[in-house]
Amino acid sequence: MDVEAPKDTHPSPAPAPRGKGMHWLLVAVNCGMLSLGTTGGPLLSRLYYSKGGHRQWLSAWLETGGWPLLLIPVVASYLSRRARDPRAPLVLTRPRILLAAAALGVATGADDFLYAYGLSFLPVSTSAILISTQLAFTVFFAFLVVRQRLTASSLNAVALLTMGAVVLGLHASSDRPAGVSRGQYWLGFVLSLGAAALYGLVLPLVELTYKRAAAGGGDRVLTYALVMEMQLVMGFFATAFCTVGMIVNNDFQAIAREARAFELGEARYYTVLVWSAILWQFFFLGAVGVIFCVHTLFTGILIAAFIPVTEVLGVVFLHEKFSSEKGVALVLSLWGLASYSYGEYSEAQANKKKAALAESQAS
């Protein structure tokens, strides 16, 4: 479990891995969790609203409320360390890194609320396209925070994703859910873009925190176990932030009443809540895991890559309309994603050729 972070062609926050096999297993597992969370989380959140749910703070709380699930691997990692060394520390994360994780947790909680509030007024297909602009914000903030180099392909992706959001904005409210006013639709539109921007900032800050943790030196290098500890802290503080909102909004008292009035029945109401918490936990753990294994921008790419999947699932299971402007926005988003991915692939191939040439010249 205590696998160190890898080196790659991008700035890496930690030493090389102990084994390539374990590294690629972690990549696969975290990509799988991220894909399940990216598609399943929004669908269940929208299902909650469409079938009679009205509590935005509760919906936001569910996005990180599954954080206790992380106690299982964290405790297992601790027991494994103690078996190897009875003097092993209880916590791997240094105090200042824990403070940084706590601050990131509060920011994540605020982002959860922005997203949940916006989704309450939007179809999940529209929300997914707006959230895809997160890649543009991630590119921008990664350049500022972790000095990720901007390329022509990344700038082109930013432009195309922005155009996609503009296309949706020009035809706003053409797909308003039942009972949502034009003003509420616009509010959801703005809040969703705000959520994309804030999480686009959080992801590079997570990578920066990893780098600071690795720079601490000593015997506590950046490992996957440490990443899980950080995510546990982030999830706890994000959930605490949303818990305060629920208390102020009297959401806890309203849950039983809302369950009885839920269109799918009381039992399915609680089923939706539980699975929503689990799938959203997959999303967040997958996101930080991919950052650990690869880098921030790859996380943004994967999130954007599942836009069409979420679109299709929203149309199939929630019977949402797929208008022409959504089609244009989706094409622009996928074009931007393809442009960025091709640029990254071309750069990686060029770097391999340079490395091979330098190695042949040295020998």
List, as one string, the DSSP characters of 332-363: HHHHHHHHHHHHHHHHHHHHHHHHHHHHHHH-
Q: How confident is the model at residue 2 (pLDDT cuts 50, 70, 90)?
A: low
Mean pLDDT of 235-252: 97
Torsion of CA 226, 227, 232, 236, to 10 degrees: 120
pLDDT band, very low/low/confident/very high, at 64 (cuts 50, 70, 90): very high
The share of the chain scoring above pLDDT 90, in percent, equals 39
Please name the residues in contact with 42: beta carbons below 8 A apart, sequence gap of 6 or more: 119, 124, 127, 128, 131, 310
Q: Which pLDDT score is estimated for 16?
A: 39
What are the pLDDT digits (tens) for 253-276? 999 999 999 999 999 999 999 999
State the pLDDT at residue 6: 47
Query: CB count, 10 Å around CB of 216?
Result: 13
pLDDT reading at 15 higher than 60: no
Q: Which two tokens stand for residue 160?
A: 């195309």
- C-alpha 192/C-alpha 179 separation (Å) is 19
- H/E run at residue 93: none
Structure tokens at 142: 């990664």
The pLDDT tens digits for 312-345 are: 788 888 888 777 777 777 787 778 778 777 877 7
Between residues 136 and 197, the one the model is more confident about: 197
Of residues 356 and 75, the one with the higher pLDDT is 75
In angstroms, the CA 221 to CA 193 distance is 36
| Distance (Å, whole) CA 220 – CA 77 | 14
Task: List beta partners, residue 223.
Answer: 4
Rg (CA), the chain: 21
For the chain, how many helices (H) and strands (E)? 14, 0
Question: The whole model's pTM is what?
Answer: 0.84
Coil, helix or strand at residue 230: helix
pLDDT at residue 219 greater than cutoff 70: no
**201 pLDDT exceeds 60?**
yes
In this prediction, residue 91 has a pLDDT band, given cuts at 50, 70 and 90, of confident
Q: How confident is the model at residue 8 (pLDDT cuts 50, 70, 90)?
A: very low
Q: Where are the alpha helices (DSSP H) in 174-265?
A: 182-215, 224-248, 251-261
CA–CA distance from 279 to each of 36, 67, 172, 216 (Å)? 7, 11, 29, 33
Structure confidence at residue 277 as a pLDDT band (50, 70, 90): very high
Q: What is the DSSP string of 107-150?
A: HHHHHHHHHHHHHTTS-HHHHHHHHTTHHHHHHHHHHHHS-PPP
In three-state secondary structure terms, 18 is coil
Query: For the purposes of burial, counting CB atoms within 10 Å of the CB of 66, is it exposed (0-12), middle (13-18) or buried (19 or more)?
Result: buried
| Domain-wise residue ranges, the chain | 55-254+321-357
